Amino acid sequence: MRFPVWLRPVLFILALLALWEIAIDLHPGQLMPGPVAAFAAIGELLQHGLLLKHVVASLFRVTWGFLLACVTAIPLGLVLGWYRRGERAFNPLVQLFRPISPLAWIPIAILWFGIGDLSSIFLIFVGSFFPLLVTAISAVHNIPEVYINAGRNFGLSSVDFFVRVIYPAVVPQLLVGMRITLGIAWLVVVAAEMIAVNSGLGFLIVDARNAGNRYDLVVAGMIVIGVIGLLLDLGMRALERVKSFQWTNQEN
């Protein structure tokens, strides 16, 4: 029997869920709630309006942290990528900061911004900034020389050259980098919310455990995080497929 292509992963997931439920039923310890309990917990959260509240809180922080990182890291990366001297000066610093987990910044974030949205946004910013910077730098390095020569040939000013050759030439690579970085930002927000705030999906998970070991709510939170992460990824992929993604095209 043949299933449509889109149906196959759905069926596979359903089968896994069924196996999970059966396994939990056979060993009714308290190691983990089953999927039925987890989805019931999602329903419970929906009923109380809590799910939407936590999701919105998390997405709000990710949006701001990620956008701030985009508007600072990408232009800086493009300039550093083009002017190699600047990159040589900056590179040791970037390589030093890059391996520091954004979570290591949590104490500093709380010291600077206190408990609240600002410190989570800062953590997401820190977590997104360096991957985006490195992406932008290497995207410029990877521009095929023929585009650069073809662009120079038409006698453009530096600004025009940047806007009409460099920028459009790096957009596809930037989009890939942005998609991966958005995934990182989504990882970081959950961690940040476990410590620095009292709303959001990360908070939901910690709170569910602390306030009465509601592991069904913990798993519910994890499922929601996974689904939203998947949707963010799909959204960015859809953007990558747009053929003329916002090419600043003054000709038409």
Partner 1 sequence: MALPGIAIPDQAAAPKLQVTNLGVVFQGNDKTIAALDNINLEISDGEFVCLVGPSGCGKSTLLNAMGGFLSPTSGSVSIDGELVSGPDSRRILVFQEHGVFPWLTVEGNIGFGLAKLSRSERAQRIAHYVELVQLQGFERSYPSDLSGGMKQRLQVARALAVNPDVLFLDEPFGALDSITRVMMRGELLRIWQAERRTILCVTHDIDEAVQLADRVVVLSSRPARIQNVLTIDIPHPRNISSPRYLTLRDELLKMIGLAYEI
The binding site for partner 1 (CB under 8 A) comprises: 144, 146-147, 149-150, 152-155, 160, 164-165, 168-169, 171, 243-244, 247, 249-252
Distance in angstroms (rounded) separating the CA atoms of residues 126 and 112: 14
- Residue nearer to partner 1 on the CB measure, 1 or 159: 159
Least distance CB 145 / partner 1 (angstroms): 9
Residue 51: Cβ within 10 Å count: 20
- Residue nearer to partner 1 on the CB measure, 97 or 154: 154
Least distance CB 168 / partner 1 (angstroms): 4
- Residue nearer to partner 1 on the CB measure, 123 or 174: 174
Least distance CB 5 / partner 1 (angstroms): 24
Which stretches of the chain are DSSP H helices?
Answer: 7-26, 35-47, 50-82, 84-97, 106-113, 117-141, 145-153, 158-161, 167-195, 201-210, 215-241
Side-chain half-sphere CA neighbours of 115 within 13 A: 8
Least distance CB 153 / partner 1 (angstroms): 5
Name the nearest CA neighbour of 161 among 171, 148, 179. 148
Residue 100: Cβ within 10 Å count: 12
**Phi-psi label, residue 155: left if phi above 0, alpha if psi -120 to 50, beta otherwise:** left
Least distance CB 242 / partner 1 (angstroms): 11
- Residue nearer to partner 1 on the CB measure, 30 or 153: 153
- Residue nearer to partner 1 on the CB measure, 50 or 163: 163
Amino acid at 88: R
